[in-house]
């Protein structure tokens, strides 16, 4: 394997981990953040980052041909998995406001359509990412041919 390919695989894998960490940490901290001057800005940001997080979870496999590197990097999944209860708490806060109380996440108005879709989408993406992270923790030997 040439140096450029190794560098590209390692760089892509590290960027994927950074994207996942950003999305999960912001989602986990959402329940503790107060609504800012723009209101639901963090909710919109997390909704926009969700497709990037899904793409990033697929990018984690680019380091598979580098068995030693992949074996080290896969342990980065553990802190993310430990943050899942905090993410669920944030999602539950939006479910309670939008679906149970019929108010927007950061105001007393009726929730817009995107906020009604926010919590089911975030939950589905969180569960998918958790599944993929648990799957990445399994010890496997990869064929380098």
**Mean predicted lDDT score pLDDT of the chain:** 87
Asked, for residue 109, whether it belongs to a domain, the answer is yes
Say if CB 81 and CB 134 are below 8 A apart: yes
Asked, for residue 45, whether it belongs to a domain, the answer is yes
Question: pLDDT tens digits for 101-114?
Answer: 888 887 888 888 99
Asked, for residue 145, whether it belongs to a domain, the answer is no
- Give me the number of domains the chain comprises: 1
Range of the domain at 83: 3-137
What pLDDT sits at residue 29? 92
Question: pLDDT tens digits for 23-78?
Answer: 999 999 988 887 777 678 888 899 999 999 999 999 888 887 888 888 888 888 99
Asked, for residue 43, whether it belongs to a domain, the answer is yes
Alpha carbon distance, N-terminus to C-terminus of the chain:
10
Q: Give the integer Cα–Cα distance in Å for 30 and 106.
A: 12
Asked, for residue 31, whether it belongs to a domain, the answer is yes
Asked, for residue 143, whether it belongs to a domain, the answer is no
Asked, for residue 68, whether it belongs to a domain, the answer is yes
Asked, for residue 142, whether it belongs to a domain, the answer is no
């Amino acid at each position: 394997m040439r140096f450029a390919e190794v560098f590209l695989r390692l760089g892509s894998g590290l960027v994927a981990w950074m994207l996942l960490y950003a999305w999960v940490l912001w989602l986990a901290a959402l329940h503790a953040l107060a609504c800012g001057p723009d209101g639901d800005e963090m909710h919109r940001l997390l909704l926009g980052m969700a497709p990037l997080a899904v793409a990033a979870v697929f990018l984690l496999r680019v380091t598979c041909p580098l068995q030693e590197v992949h074996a080290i990097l896969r342990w980065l999944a553990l802190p993310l998995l430990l943050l899942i209860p905090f993410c669920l708490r944030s999602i539950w806060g939006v479910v309670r406001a939008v679906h149970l109380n019929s108010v927007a996440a950061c105001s007393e108005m009726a929730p817009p359509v995107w906020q009604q879709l926010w919590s089911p989408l975030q939950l589905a993406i969180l569960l998918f990412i958790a599944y993929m992270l648990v799957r990445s923790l399994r010890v496997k030997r990869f064929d380098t041919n």
